[in-house]
Amino acid sequence: MIQRSSCLRNLIQYSNIVPSISKLGVSYFASQAASSLQEVIEPAPCRDEEYADIDWNNLGFGLMPADYMYTMKCIKDDIFEQGKLSQYGNIELSPCAGVLNYGQGLFEGIKAYRREDGRLSLFRPRDNAMRMQMGAERMCMPSPSIDQFVNAVKQTALSNRRWVPPPGKGALYVRPLLIGSGPILGLAPAPEYTFLIYASPVGNYFKEGSAPLKLYIDDEFHRATRGGAGGVKSITNYAPVLKPLTKARDRGFSDVLYLDSVNKRNLEEASSCNIFVVKGNTISTPAAIGTILEGITRKSIMEIARDLGYQVEERAVPVDELVEADEVFCTGTAVGVAPVGTITYKGKRIEYKMSSRLVCRELYSTLVGIQSGVIEDKFGWVVDIDA
């Protein structure tokens, strides 16, 4: 059982925020508070029971809101005020809010895991914080500092620890949002911004569970194009894919795989995940040139693959290479690492053999081992949140 005193102690955070500016390329983010500012997060009461009353053996990827959410606002000078935890619920938003009228918003996805010893951990949260900062610059938004972001995610996970599934049963999906919450009529950045986080326990993203995916290549619709916002996790990248995705699912497919919008011959990514193609000892994935999202799981799988001796290439991957590929798989925070069983393109279906010796299964096993603490984390990716 969780001890109340221990939980409350963990929830009280007094973080001196260092007056530094995060530098990404040639861009600077002035969202850090002054050095004298302390972030005091009001602790929410913890529940005595260790787990929420859920059928952990049948978790899907549906919304099951955990008890608490986190909010933090930025009203002026690109400085986010101290955040706070509160009971999960609706938020008040002006009809003229920038996010409602002009789509000024970003989101991230992070998973909190429960280890065999009961401790909770996060996987590469600083990478998510940096990606949100890059996206915020593209969308003309201030963003929380990396420390503010990570501390907020920790507080959210700790306050909702009874919703973190038992080891091997899933994860607590933590969803940070950054939105233009201030009212604006003309096309311009919003005058106020809200950073909020909620969480939900999840299992497999696809309804197929761990079964191989069935992808459909759509050359009519495009997810992104050069010069657009396809390389950042903007909310505006997702609603436009609902039409082709819905049509594909109605026909029995798992997801849609998109081609480049210029030549319509190179792979880009699926609606919700990145794509990898395996041939022999070489693993290829489309290069991140502003039209695909640089997934955290994508980056992790590439590093693991190189460490295991595979040759990893980031390059233009012609759709024709799918015919000769030994294996194809997808990656993403929600998706994990999922093997592809079939890909349908121009009325023809390509099938891939499934076996226990798939490259993606080896990579996924290593990734999960690191996340769960079974395999040594020599990369320094796992962040404990109980300490």
Positions annotated as catalytic residues are 233
Distance CA 128, CA 133 (A): 9
Report how far residue 266's alpha carbon sits from residue 335's, in angstroms, rounded to the nearest whole number: 22
Phi-psi region of 217 (alpha: psi -120 to 50; beta: other; left: phi over 0): beta
Tell me whether strands 255-259 and 213-218 are parallel, antiparallel or unpaired.
parallel
Residues 6 or more apart whose Cβ sits within 8 Å of residue 312: 282, 283, 284, 285, 302, 305, 306
Neighbouring residues of 314: CB distance < 8 A, sequence distance ≥ 6: 284, 285, 286, 287, 288, 302
Closest CA to 53 of 45, 64, 42, 63: 64
Report the alpha-carbon distance of residue 305 to residue 284 in Å, rounded. 11
Q: Would you state the structure tokens that stand for residue 114, as one six-digit string?
A: 């429960």
Q: Which two tokens stand for residue 261?
A: 């919008």
* Euclidean distance between CA atoms 378 and 306, whole angstroms: 14
Three-state DSSP class for residue 208: coil
**Contact between 111 and 123 (Cβ < 8 Å):** yes
